[in-house]
Amino acid sequence: MTLNNRLLALAATAWLFTAVPAARAAIAIAASLDQKVENAASIVVGKCIKTESRLDPTGRWILTYSTFEVQKSLKGVAGPQITIVTPGGTVGSTHQDTIGVPEFHEGAEHVIFVKNSRVGPTVLYFDQGAYDVTTDGHGDKIVAPIPSNLVKVDTQRGMAVAPNDTPRTMRDFEKAVSDSIRESSARKARMDMLAAEKARKEQASLWSILNRNWLVIMFALAGIALATWQLLRR
């Protein structure tokens, strides 16, 4: 198994809802803002108004459902509320914890990069996909990465890396997301254009081959027709 595959396997195992949520360490592939923006089903800014923990349908694991009042959607279409599902929580006297998965509390504001899962909307890329939103002394909204003890690994270099996100104003964060969406759309358009041009050249090449060899092709078709006719006469 290659290094990348091993890292992917470790990351996937740590995040699957069917994995044991009492793990003491977690490894994740470091994700850039562009990767998060491109792979998020939606990106919302919201205030947590309710949290509830309960057992999953199997009765083995605890899931926490955090409902957010959506203040703004930076990507995708979001309703007035969204409920984010994360593994871990407390039911009665039983507590389960998952390292690398954000915990949300009523009254707190966050930016959430949303990923769809079989149990409902969840956070993309572990807690790399959630940001705290606070207000500074000047009244400006500040977006900052959620503190994390998650070990992030650069698969290109095969080594752990330091967080590459820094706190920024909401205006700057929204601009960075908007620029990333625009660049992603432009990149997709370029790729579609290249694919269309390649298909056009391949088609032109095929017609060129047929045009240059039409006489050979005609003789071949005539031979096939003659052989078929002789076979049917027997």
pLDDT (tens, 9 = 90+) of the chain, 234 residues, equals 454 444 444 444 344 433 434 445 567 788 899 999 999 999 999 999 999 999 988 888 999 999 999 999 999 988 899 999 999 999 999 988 888 889 999 999 999 999 999 989 999 998 899 999 999 999 999 999 998 877 777 777 767 666 668 899 999 999 999 999 999 878 777 777 777 777 777 777 777 777 777 777 777 787 787 778 777 776
What is the domain count for the chain? Answer: 1
Q: Which of 103, 116, 64, 113 is nearest to 85 (CA)?
A: 64
Q: What is the pTM of this model?
A: 0.71
Inside any domain, residue 180: no
Domain that holds residue 111: 3-168
CATH code at position 66: 2.40.50
Q: Tell me, yes or no, whether 17 lies in a domain.
A: yes
89-91 and 168-169 as β-strands: parallel, antiparallel, unpaired?
unpaired
Q: How far apart are CA 6 and CA 14, in angstroms?
A: 12
Evaluate whether residue 137 is within a structural domain: yes
Q: Give the count of alpha carbons within 13 A of 71, CB side only.
A: 13
